[in-house]
């Protein structure tokens, strides 16, 4: 059971967690990283398959190569925005801070973990990466609780990340995570602040008993 104070703390972290792209160079305490990884490992997983691995990257050269892969993807995507109203906004967005953050974590999902017939994954195979996303969300909440900033980078070609980190072909490098301290933890989502997207009204996303006929 949870006290009211405990409940408030849990909702506080759920509401205040933000995706961060700017970091200071201050080192991250090892004990905090261990707690963040334990939180990840206590995420739910379909069939208890625990499909995740965590590659902790502190070597400068490897971080620079990952940042190169992300920047290459950013420049390629800029081409797709070139006739879009949001073109200049896109070019001004800082999409990652991997060279600044003291720690990058590549989170992977192994679709073969747990053998050929994983309970639940047998019916819906993508529950392996969804389980890994639950682990990442736990990392995010734990980082926020620790006073640390975290960013989830999804601008890259998986083949580049596999090459750089020597990840076997069947393993899915689902996320590049930056962790560090930041000056000024954002109060609102960055994409809301720069007016890229708005938060939707929750009540419009909730239906009853079936999908409505939308007119």
Restricting to residues 45-104, which ones interact with a second copy according to CB under 8 A? 46-50, 52-59, 62, 73, 77, 80-81, 84, 90, 93, 95
Question: Of these, 131, 149, 179, 181, which contacts a second copy (CB under 8 A)?
Answer: 131
Give the nearer residue to a second copy in terms of CB position, either 23 or 118. Answer: 118
Query: Which residue in 22, 62, 44 sits closest to 149, CA to CA?
Result: 22
Question: Of these, 24, 68, 141, 186, which contacts a second copy (CB under 8 A)?
Answer: 141
Q: Per the structure block, which two tokens stand in for 136?
A: 């990442």
Query: Which residue in 19, 34, 12, 14 sits closest to 186, CA to CA?
Result: 19
Beta-bridge partners for 175: 107
**137 and 62 in contact (C-beta within 8 Å)?**
no
CB of 24 to a second copy, least distance (A): 16
User: Which 3 state secondary structure label does DSSP give 193?
Assistant: helix
CB of 179 to a second copy, least distance (A): 14
End-to-end CA distance of the chain: 44
* Residue 98 CA: distances (Å) to CA of 35, 83, 89, 214: 21, 29, 21, 42
How far apart are alpha carbons 39 and 56 in whole angstroms?
A: 15
Give the nearer residue to a second copy in terms of CB position, either 187 or 208. Answer: 208
* Binding to a second copy in span 20-49, by CB under 8 A: 35, 37-39, 41-44, 46-49
Give the nearer residue to a second copy in terms of CB position, either 25 or 214. Answer: 214
Question: Of these, 29, 88, 94, 119, which contacts a second copy (CB under 8 A)?
Answer: 119
Contact status: 178 vs a second copy (CB under 8 A)? no
**Total residues at interface with a second copy (CB under 8 A):** 100
Question: Of these, 14, 29, 88, 112, which contacts a second copy (CB under 8 A)?
Answer: 14
Beta-bridge partners for 176: 106, 153
The interaxial angle of helices 4-16 and 127-145, nearest 10 deg, is 110
Give the nearer residue to a second copy in terms of CB position, either 23 or 127. Answer: 127
Contact status: 2 vs a second copy (CB under 8 A)? yes
Give the nearer residue to a second copy in terms of CB position, either 99 or 158. Answer: 158
């Amino acid at each position: 059971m949870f006290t009211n104070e405990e409940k408030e703390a849990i909702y506080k972290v759920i509401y205040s967690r933000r995706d961060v792209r700017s970091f200071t160079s201050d080192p991250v305490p090892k004990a905090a990283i261990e707690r963040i990884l334990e939180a990840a490992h206590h995420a739910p997983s379909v069939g208890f398959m625990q499909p995740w691995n965590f590659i902790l990257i502190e070597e400068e050269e490897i971080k620079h190569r990952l940042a190169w892969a992300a920047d290459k993807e950013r420049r390629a995507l800029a081409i797709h925005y070139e006739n879009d109203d949001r073109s200049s906004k896109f070019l001004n967005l800082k999409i990652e801070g991997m060279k600044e953050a003291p720690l990058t974590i590549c989170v992977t999902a192994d679709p073969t973990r747990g053998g050929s017939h994983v309970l639940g994954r047998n019916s819906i195979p993508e529950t392996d990466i969804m389980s890994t996303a639950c682990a990442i969300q736990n990392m995010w909440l734990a980082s926020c609780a620790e006073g640390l900033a975290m960013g989830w980078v999804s601008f890259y070609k998986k083949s580049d990340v596999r090459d750089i980190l020597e990840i076997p072909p069947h393993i899915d490098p689902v996320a590049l995570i930056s962790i560090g301290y930041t000056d000024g933890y954002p109060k609102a989502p960055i994409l809301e602040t720069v007016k890229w997207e708005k938060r939707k009204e929750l009540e419009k996303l909730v239906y009853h008993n079936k999908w409505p006929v939308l007119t």
